[in-house]
Amino acid sequence: PCVVGEWSHWSGCAERCQPDLRIRRRYVQQEPKNGGEPCPALEEKAGCLEYLTYQGEDCGHEHVPAFITTSEYSKERKRRAASSLWPSDKEAAGYCVEFKTESLSHHCALENRPYTRWMRYLREGHTVCVACQPPAMNTDTHRCSGDGHNADGGKILHWEAVGNSQCQGTWKKIRQLENCSCPLVHSFIFT
């Protein structure tokens, strides 16, 4: 049979601050003979993203998908915050981001479990509101991951539903507001 060596280390990303590919290889140590088992794949590719520029500045945050869940969950957060870890002044902190949904997977419409039914209300072309609140808010930057900070209105951003990673899609940022004003079925929170 064919005999191959160990995989090499993964190469680095060719580009920084944008999704790219990395590669690893292995080499044939013995070719198959007399109808022996053929060689397996000698090269593998995987996605990668370098989150720092050559100057050491963070740049990958805009490529991270926004993880969202129903705004109903924020009531539970507020109840917990009142009784535990977060000071009450942080409870009021936060902001809202409006997005226009561009695409979504068909898996969202198939959801029927009680805690994931909210995914069925996601629609292409609709405006949705996503609130950024503690504890999803980073304590240093006061931002939520995937909020589209510094993204212009034409940039396609990615989101994923918490509870079903196959329910995902893209949207474009419309604007950031202090408070959300979307109907409940189009209101979500960053997680």
Residue 175 is given by DSSP the state E
Every domain of the chain and the residues it spans? 3-190
Angstrom CA distances, 152 to 20, 99, 155, 178, stand at 22, 12, 6, 18
Show the beta-strand stretches assigned E in 7-94. Answer: 20-25, 28-30, 43-48, 66-70
Residue count of the chain: 191
What's the pTM? 0.63
Q: What parts of the chain have a pLDDT lower than 70?
A: 18-19, 49-52, 58-63, 73-92
Backbone angles phi, psi at 180, to 5 degrees: -80, 145
pLDDT tens digits, 33-67: 999 999 999 998 877 766 667 777 766 555 678 88
Backbone angles phi, psi at 66, to 5 degrees: -80, 125
